[in-house]
Structure 1
């Protein structure tokens, strides 16, 4: 047996220069990098807004649209904040095609959805004009600004590709772009026929797929033929050996949280001043409702829905966007319940010493403004996760909700709520690890029983042996613990978790 000593870095407390030297950060960037510190010194400020996309691209990255390096993309805002922001840019034609190919989950079985999924993905790939990519925030803003100026002459789901954006902008260092709208219009006119041809192809394929002409049977390979890669096996061994310390293995998220900075969001105590409320007409609401009439949270909520956080109904959550269009949405929000069964708590706390032990996850449907409180929290506090705020937190943070208006948020209060929920978040993180492990071993047992139906006892013994081999030390209660883990896997499966 080969024995390897692993030292897991703690990026949360590591010195900046140590992070930059670490192999895990070799192709990344962040507030810790020498380049970022040099830029702060060059612009004479210590305030920094550095987003996830900037952190996940290497320091020598250049924008595929304007060809500027990071040192030329960065600029100082009027609030004296260094803006280091890269945006994900994709072809909105793909979104349009995805709507054409939307499957009604109420009318189509799970098996049928699986049969047509490959065809749907293939059509979306063949329809889009360019792949999803990262560009600088200035190029992304030009895409929207040019489309806004060209107006109704352009299809609303058209997007300029990075190379096309580069053809009508006048980039300069450390400033936003100037652009030539006439050149942008010529680009659209030059690709219009191709764009509509792709739309026609997608419509034709949507009809064929709906008729079942591109169904594909899906069969599962026996587990023995699905060879696992060495890194996956080593990771499983390391997680098992870490036991209750396995949270230290969340390296990518810890490093990402250490890399980002949100001074641009956290610098002011509250949002900008309240805008005048615009009330939609009944016809406006009907148009919004028709646009939302596809399978999703809006339709699942029903006509009598009210937001369980702010108590507004569907009509009251419709509001005018900055662009003058109506914006509305209903989204899922995860809620978690504590474990009260004494035996389950005892077994879970063998590897988790936090005050909160979570039993199960559920979800509620809330309005987009209430859901945006969590989005704001994750921007203000980069280390915050999806469980950073509970429903009661949202209720206390939303201010005084009003129809047809976004909530007025106190960012200092949001930051305080996130900090107060650190132990809760740790409990949710441990629950997710437990659920993942329980479902994984339960699935392995079920699949192995299917592959070897006459050797179920042998299969169980082998799986228990594998699980036991990853324990940090022999466990006299190991067999009972493993049976309990499998029972948890079955529980999660029955709950649909």
Structure 2
């Protein structure tokens, strides 16, 4: 290998030297026949447990559920796919809400259909189609080495929903709806309806494939079409950039392993497959030099004053699922029981981002049981004190909120709108010293 070669030998990551761990692992490893025998036994036992009803987290032709399905349909022949086998016998379709028994139905070849499928958006196909369309329209002569990688990486960002397992009938209903729209003159090549949308046009009957409502499909499309067209336009612009600008994604040279760490699965050979990466790092850390952190910063340094949120802060905040949930959990007149700030005063605005965060004190701390929810600012003071006591002074605390009472917390802070509270340095130090001297 030349000094300029980009290839990296496996020896760097998996050195072949002999060591006590490797020798021990070799002497104690199961040979191929033993492993194969164990797998065969496990499979045999799994099938036995499925059939006798003691294992319901997976399914099979001989399960109690399958026997019930056979009796219902008066048929012994199954057409059962792997998704059906690998899911619980108690599974329900998240789209039509039918269980496996209700989903099962007779096929046109005299068999029981037992099929579940992964429903997914087809937006990656749209991106690739747009990628090729740009090449044709612009007559681009220069190939792109990074454009397709950009397209593939961008696909999830444009997807209407994540992959989800549903029954075959619901998936077929999606296909039927798109065919109906195509026959009605609409271009829906890359459209795929979400389970929430599919529910709006299917008619659900147990042990029968879904029928769809033409009127409901057309009404839904009237709502969905503008969004679909907007996505298609945006996708085309991304594809155009991918074709005309070749600097979107840099692949590593052949042979480079990006993250060759034990915890990432590399080097798990010669006995190291039996070693926990976390446990190994923990053991090594015992003899490491660790620079001590300044755990007193929560009480010695004041955080800067926050900005007033914009007029449309609520629209921004309610667009964030976590913040929205916490905001809606509290009535409009609610105030933090510690700092007495209103909901609006608790909203933070920084770097054009809004946030609203609350915290529920630890129930196991007796003095806090009367306090249901406090703001994140007050909670940050509690967490700061806890960290200093535990990590700075190795004080043995119980729960986090055991380190300070509600009244003590009120006494050491001064509330500020849209900002973390000011902490009284002298009083906070007295509280810490009191714990340390115990």
User: Rg bigger for which structure?
Assistant: 2
Q: TM-score, normalised by structure 2?
A: 0.46
